[in-house]
Amino acid sequence: MAADGYSALHEFWLNLRAIPNHVYRAMFRGGPPKTDRTRSSFIFGNVFLHLHSVRTHLWSLRWSTTMGLGIMTTAAFLITLVTGILLMFYYKPYPDVAYQSIKDIHFIVPTGRFMRNIHRWAANVMVVAVILHMARAFYTASYRKPEEFNWFIGWGLLVTTLGLSFTGYLLPWDQLAYWAITIGANIAQSPREITDALGITAWADIGGFQREILLGSDKVGEEALIRFYLLHVMILPLALVMLMAVHFWRIRKDGGLAKPANADELVAEEAKEFYPVFTDVPTKTYHLAAIVKGKTAAVGSGPEHTVPSMPHLFYAELGVLMLTTLICVGLAFVSDAPLKELANPLVPENPAKAPWYFLGLQEIVSFSAFMGGIGIPMLCVIGLGLIPFLDREKEGTGSWFGGPGGWKLVKWSIVVGFAASIGVEAFAIHFGWLREWFPEIPQLFITFINPGTVLTAIYAAYSIWAVRRYNSTRAGALALFTCFLCGFIVLTVIGTYFRGPNWDFFWSPSDWGGH
């Protein structure tokens, strides 16, 4: 019996009527975020939003700081996630039916073709964005203390993204997929180039073991498809999500995005528009809610040159999300995802080409499977991961092309990077290589002395010169990173546009001729 005379039944009725209001208030505990304080609690009271810091420095909000590339990568991933889950309803990971199920998705399932196109384009946008995002972080020297670990995580995200792309285009089980698995698995087997030459394959067959783990068999078949499917829809996405969570959280824990030492002065003019920061008198310290320097809590005044993440940062993020969606949907309207002929183990396509982001790799793999497919990529990947530990300088952190040498060095590195890669390629295409000159030459020579390794050596030598010239490791890193980006572009372009049947050089696909 309720105290004020109402019967319990009546109270039950009142509670029932009040359910919508109560549910609303349980979900939005702080009420609509109208003041900076409620905006703050809106962020750290929410499991998804609390990866953001409550306040954002004005420097980080400038579009030239990040160009929104990290958010764009995330947005592209979310789009692939949603469309990928939708595709999983119809896709069947088994060689006999995989191709047919993709055809069903493409031609029969309502909106299936659209979803597949968006999935494919978002994946491509993600690869582009992740590479540009890495370049941004590198050229603004954002990997430096205390963000070294986050560069490491980002490095893991790059590798995982490429892994997701690779495992993704295998699933339709068309010609591209089949020969990509075959070549990928044989690249995993390519340490045999070394072990065979040394005559130790019978005792230590690392390559054969790697190939068998990937394929689950000694041939490319149903076990391989299931393995790649599992990697694509389960293992790699889980890894990616976990790494992303750490990546975002670290940004906050490392004190926001990297800023130049004089960032406060640079944004001073912009900051004036935002004062006074707090629209009502705070009742508590903001010590935890924002990054405040000094021993005493700064009660009653906002941290300088920062604005509440809600709404300033969130609007920027949503803007990038919408732009990314627009790009992916737009591309999906004008360009269909390819589906080649059904996988045929007897006849590869001629030329058999990987998607664009692996064509640079295919170009150096065509010099040596081991150095091109494992040796040089491993060197690049390990070198990338170690950058923050090799460059521990301070100059230029947070500003574009910061550090000794600066933009001038980068400009020259672009020249050297393009000239060296075009020169080495032109030489190899015109004059051939060791095998054509000395047919009896042992394989070890070709493995270690081929156009790919020569190009790598030129870049390394140039980078060492830059270290000495500017007396700075950062200068060497700027030179090397720029050169490798240029080499990647040149090799990708050659692989994409200038390689034809039998991987011969052609000035134009119209010269390919019949085959």
Partner 1 sequence: MTTHPSEKKSRFDPEPMPRRDFLGLAALGSMAAAFALSIFGMLKLPKAAVSASPAKKFNVALPDTLPEGEAFVPPGRNVAVFRDAEGVFAISTVCTHLGCIVKTSSAGFDCPCHGSGFQKDGTVRKGPAPKAATLAESLKKRGVAHDRRGSER
The nearest distance, CB 218 to partner 1, in angstroms, is 5
Q: Please, which residue, 218 or 269, has the CB nearer to partner 1?
A: 218
Q: How large is the angle between the packed helices 222-230 and 206-215, nearest 10 degrees?
A: 80
The nearest distance, CB 187 to partner 1, in angstroms, is 6
Q: Please, which residue, 67 or 434, has the CB nearer to partner 1?
A: 434
Distance CA 62, CA 426 (A): 42
Distance CA 171, CA 94 (A): 9
Residue 343 as a binder of partner 1 (CB under 8 A): the answer is no
Residue 72 as a binder of partner 1 (CB under 8 A): the answer is no
The nearest distance, CB 222 to partner 1, in angstroms, is 9
The set of residues, in sequence order, having a beta carbon less than 8 Å from that of 362 and lying 6+ positions away, is 353, 354, 495
The set of residues, in sequence order, having a beta carbon less than 8 Å from that of 83 and lying 6+ positions away, is 115, 116, 118, 119, 122
Distance CA 474, CA 192 (A): 37
The nearest distance, CB 514 to partner 1, in angstroms, is 13
Question: Of 168-176, 363-371, 418-426, 454-462, which part binds partner 1 (CB under 8 A)?
Answer: 363-371
Q: Please, which residue, 11 or 504, has the CB nearer to partner 1?
A: 504
Residue 218 as a binder of partner 1 (CB under 8 A): the answer is yes
The nearest distance, CB 490 to partner 1, in angstroms, is 18
Exactly one of 41, 46, 201, 217 binds partner 1 (CB under 8 A); that residue is: 217
The nearest distance, CB 505 to partner 1, in angstroms, is 9
Residue 424 as a binder of partner 1 (CB under 8 A): the answer is no
Distance CA 319, CA 315 (A): 6
Q: Please, which residue, 156 or 495, has the CB nearer to partner 1?
A: 495
The nearest distance, CB 103 to partner 1, in angstroms, is 24
**3-class secondary structure, 118:** helix
Q: Please, which residue, 117 or 195, has the CB nearer to partner 1?
A: 195
How many positions of this chain bind partner 1 (CB under 8 A)?
Answer: 48
| Residue (of 248, 256, 311) closest to 57 by Cα position | 256
Residue 374 as a binder of partner 1 (CB under 8 A): the answer is no
Q: What dihedral angle (degrees, nearest 10) is formed by the CA atoms of 391, 395, 401, 406?
A: -100
> Are 69 and 140 within 8 A, CB to CB?
no
> Are 180 and 224 within 8 A, CB to CB?
no
Q: Please, which residue, 126 or 376, has the CB nearer to partner 1?
A: 376
In Å, the largest CA–CA distance within the chain is 106
The percent of the chain in helix, strand and coil, each rounded to the nearest 5, is 65, 0, 30
Question: Of 120-128, 248-256, 440-448, 453-461, which part binds partner 1 (CB under 8 A)?
Answer: 440-448
Residue 376 as a binder of partner 1 (CB under 8 A): the answer is no
Residues 452-511 that bind partner 1 (CB under 8 A): 501-504
Exactly one of 304, 349, 380, 467 binds partner 1 (CB under 8 A); that residue is: 349
Round to the nearest angstrom and report the end-to-end CA distance of the chain.
Answer: 92
Residue 273 as a binder of partner 1 (CB under 8 A): the answer is no
Question: Of 38-46, 321-329, 402-410, 435-443, which part binds partner 1 (CB under 8 A)?
Answer: 435-443
Residue 29 as a binder of partner 1 (CB under 8 A): the answer is no
| CB burial of residue 328 (10 Å; 0-12, 13-18, 19+) | buried
Say if strands 55-57 and 306-308 run parallel, antiparallel, or are unpaired.
Answer: antiparallel
Tokens of 161: 């993204």
Residue 201 as a binder of partner 1 (CB under 8 A): the answer is no
Residue 23 as a binder of partner 1 (CB under 8 A): the answer is no
The nearest distance, CB 441 to partner 1, in angstroms, is 10
Q: Which residue has the tokens 């087997």?
A: 189
The nearest distance, CB 163 to partner 1, in angstroms, is 16
Using the CB atoms, write b or e for 158-173: b if 16+ within 10 Å.
bbbbbbbbbbbbbbbb
The nearest distance, CB 498 to partner 1, in angstroms, is 12
**Cα dihedral sign for 19, 24, 26, 32?**
negative
Radius of gyration over alpha carbons of the chain, in Å?
Answer: 28
User: Nearest 5 degrees, angle CA 260-CA 489-CA 155?
Assistant: 50
Q: Please, which residue, 325 or 443, has the CB nearer to partner 1?
A: 443
Question: Of 122-130, 142-150, 288-296, 349-357, which part binds partner 1 (CB under 8 A)?
Answer: 349-357
Question: Of 129-137, 144-152, 282-290, 441-449, which part binds partner 1 (CB under 8 A)?
Answer: 441-449
Residues 137-196 that bind partner 1 (CB under 8 A): 179, 182-183, 185-187, 190, 192-193, 196
CA atoms within 13 A on the CB side of 97: 7
The nearest distance, CB 443 to partner 1, in angstroms, is 4
Residue 368 as a binder of partner 1 (CB under 8 A): the answer is yes
Residue 350 as a binder of partner 1 (CB under 8 A): the answer is yes
> Are 122 and 79 within 8 A, CB to CB?
yes
Q: Binding string, 222-241, against partner 1, x = CB under 8 A?
A: -x------------------
Tokens of 38: 């409620």
Residues that bind partner 1 (CB under 8 A): 179, 182-183, 185-187, 190, 192-193, 196-197, 209, 212-213, 216-220, 223, 345-352, 362, 365-369, 372-373, 432, 435-436, 439, 443, 446-447, 450, 501-504
